């Protein structure tokens, strides 16, 4: 008896036809991962692979039984095509459902920004000489203090007008 056991058959998968390719190519492409694993672990040789192809009843283009050399050539083509397909898939990498992702991260949330403070409605600008000395608040002030208040009010009015222009027109 021999120590070599016959190779275990490959579990069958649904074989999809590839345009312009024969049965052998389609079968090898459908079973690529299993065949590659067995060849890499040296469970099979290319002759064993050709035997598995024949055992599955696959024929060449002219209806002839494929040789080990022909199966080897087809296997090399399958490996090249699978590598190209994987590279293209990695490059393309479309998400599930075919929808392209937004440029914004799905975890992004807008910053909470407080609304700008309400600007108080200001009365008409006060002129330097227009301050009335008859107001209730000014009754206890001396004439020098009233003049000082008038100058401060005028200065404050200029500052507010300047800030208003900068806010509205963006100028300085």
**How far is CA 36 from its chain centroid?**
33
Tens digit of each residue's pLDDT (9 = 90 or more) over 16-30: 556 667 788 888 888
Q: Which residues, at least 6 apart from 132, have a Cβ–Cβ distance to it below 8 Å?
A: 138
- 124-129 LR contacts (CB < 8 Å, sep 24+): 125/157, 125/161, 126/153, 126/154, 126/157, 127/154, 128/154
Give the pTM: 0.46
Q: Which DSSP symbol is given to 107?
A: T
Of residues 66 and 15, the one with the higher pLDDT is: 66
Using an 8 Å Cβ cutoff, are 50 and 66 in contact?
yes
Question: Which two tokens mark 71?
Answer: 């199966």
Using an 8 Å Cβ cutoff, are 11 and 20 in contact?
no
- Rounded CA-CA distance 102/95 in Å is 11
Q: Which residues, at least 6 apart from 157, have a Cβ–Cβ distance to it below 8 Å?
A: 125, 126
pLDDT at residue 1 in the model: 42
Q: Would you place residue 4 in the very low, low, confident or very high pLDDT band (cuts 50, 70, 90)?
A: very low
Largest CA distance in the chain: 130
pLDDT at residue 15 in the model: 54
Tens digit of each residue's pLDDT (9 = 90 or more) over 56-104: 888 877 788 888 888 889 888 989 988 988 888 877 766 555 555 567 7
CA angle, 70 then 71 then 73, to 5°: 65
- Residue 162, SS3? helix
């Amino acid at each position: 008896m021999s120590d070599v056991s016959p190779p275990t058959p490959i579990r069958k998968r649904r074989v999809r036809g590839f345009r312009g390719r024969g049965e052998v190519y389609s079968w090898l492409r459908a079973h690529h991962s299993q065949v590659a694993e067995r060849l890499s672990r040296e469970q099979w040789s290319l002759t064993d692979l050709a035997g598995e192809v024949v055992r599955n009843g696959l024929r060449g283009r002219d209806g002839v039984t494929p040789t080990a050399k022909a199966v080897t050539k087809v296997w090399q083509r399958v490996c090249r095509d699978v590598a190209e397909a994987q590279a293209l898939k990695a490059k393309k990498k479309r998400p599930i459902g075919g929808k392209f992702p937004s440029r914004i991260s799905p975890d992004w949330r807008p910053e909470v920004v407080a609304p700008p403070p309400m600007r108080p409605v200001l009365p008409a600008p006060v002129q330097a000489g227009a301050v009335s000395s008859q107001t209730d608040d000014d009754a206890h002030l001396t004439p020098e203090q009233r003049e000082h208040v008038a100058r401060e009010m005028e200065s404050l009015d200029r500052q507010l007008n300047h800030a208003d222009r900068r806010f509205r027109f963006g100028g300085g």
